[in-house]
Amino acid sequence: KQWYQRRVAITAGGHACSWKLMDAYISSHPSGNPSSRDVFDYINSNIRWLGKYHSNENRTMARLSCLAGEEMWFANVATYGDMGPFLCIISLVALILYFVTSSDSGSLVIDIMSANGDEDPPVTQRVFWALVEGATATALLVAGGADSLKALQTASVAAGLPYTIILCFVCIATWRALAMETGDLNPYGPDFAVALIDPISTMRPQLWLGVIKNILLTPLTLYNVLKKHNIAAVGISVGAAIAWVAWIALLILEVVHIHHPTIKLKGIYSLAWVFYLGFASLVTVARAKIRDHYGINGNPIEDFFAAMLVYPAVMVQLETVSEKNGLAPMMPDSGREDNHLEMDVIDNKGNGAAMA
């Protein structure tokens, strides 16, 4: 039996599924002790289905765990007896239609972009882009085989990740536009003096310095901003400091583990991101309190996504919010009732109704 298993290991890559099938073959052999030549011939003649199906003639029974990912579906539909071949053909047609329509959609988008936004670009140009896409995919597959396809799939998923973040902001922007259209949101009400994207989209070195500073000093900024507005600052700022330091420290430990595997810290990065979410949650609380203080439109979900994705820009917003809403940047809040520099907080829904 060990000799047979060694032959299987040489011929079939030593897959455990092949060994199981060989055990069944040996036990079912009429003599109970087939010769080595019989076993070797059996392996060579059935290598394509060895360990996968019940037999080369009977493929209505399959061991899915022994099949490659692309074979599992066809093995499933093949179990439907006489309907199996028909369902395989239908599956292939459906796959072809899926890839053709996907390629057609992608070609249309590229064609419109290359035609300077023309929504009815030339058909020949669209065909050109479809052929280029197909040729690129074919070249990758021919050059790298199945491994290149896996790499291409991984790259496509990784490239789509940033769009997930963008879609979060697009959803919020769409909701705000609809709220303004119906009069439920006053676009002229109180707002932050600095938009989240301003440090990137404007040439203002002061904002750049603010972002760089708050990458490291967010807890200190939280304390100063909340204290200036007479909001409990110690708990939020201390909690944010602990969570931020723990996040950085655990990420460093993960890097140490990568370079020194003997140090048992595998997976510590997951705990680091738990602390980061806690840090982002505290920044969310601070932003929500400042919004409520000035009557700025928004909701906790917006606050959380902003704090999680661009917390340094959020801190710049909190530092500069008083510039647009009636307070000098460094003016304490204690004398708010006695000075006329601060505007009254506007009830946005009331203003929206009045405008309507």
For residue 326, give Cα distances in angstroms to 36, 193, 223, 307, 343: 93, 11, 21, 24, 5
What dihedral do alpha carbons 296, 300, 303, 307 form, nearest 10°? Answer: 150
DSSP string, 152-189: HHHHHHHHHHHHHHHHHHHHHHHHHHHHHHHTSS-TTS
* Backbone φ/ψ region at 16: left (φ over 0), alpha (ψ -120 to 50), beta: alpha
**Predicted pLDDT at 332:** 37
- Mean pLDDT of the 97-122 span: 88
Q: Which residue has the higher pLDDT, 18 or 108?
A: 108
Quote the DSSP letter at residue 73.
Answer: H
- Mean pLDDT of the 172-182 span: 87
pLDDT at residue 356 is higher than 60: no
Quote the DSSP letter at residue 290.
Answer: H
Q: Where do the H-state alpha helices sit in 295-346?
A: 300-324
pLDDT (tens digit per residue) in 2-11? 555 545 444 4
- Return the amino acid letter for 201: S
* Burial class for 119, CB neighbours closer than 10 Å (0-12, 13-18, 19+): exposed
Contact 306, 287 (CB under 8 A): yes
Closest by CA to 312, choosing from 200, 232, 203, 230, is: 200
- Mean pLDDT of the 176-188 span: 85
- Mean pLDDT of the 275-286 span: 95
- Mean pLDDT of the 198-227 span: 89
Contact 283, 275 (CB under 8 A): no
**Predicted pLDDT at 324:** 64
pLDDT tier at 29, thresholds 50, 70, 90 = low
Degrees, nearest 5: CA angle 44-49-55: 100
Q: Which residue has the higher pLDDT, 35 or 157?
A: 157
Can you tell me whether residue 326 is helix, strand or coil? coil
- Mean pLDDT of the 10-33 span: 57
147 HSE (CA, 13 A, CB side): 2
Contact 293, 308 (CB under 8 A): no
Q: What phi and psi, each to the nearest 5 degrees, are found at residue 146? A: -65, -35
DSSP string, 95-148: HHHHHHHHHHHHHHHHHHHHTTT-SS--HHHHHHHHHHHHHHHHHHHHHHHHHH
* Burial class for 108, CB neighbours closer than 10 Å (0-12, 13-18, 19+): middle
Q: Which residue has the higher pLDDT, 79 or 46?
A: 79
pLDDT at residue 149 is higher than 80: no
335 Cβ contact partners less than 8 Å away, ≥ 6 residues apart: none
Greatest mean pLDDT among 127-131, 171-175, 274-278, 332-336 lies in: 274-278
Contact 303, 278 (CB under 8 A): no
Distance CA 61, CA 78 (A): 8
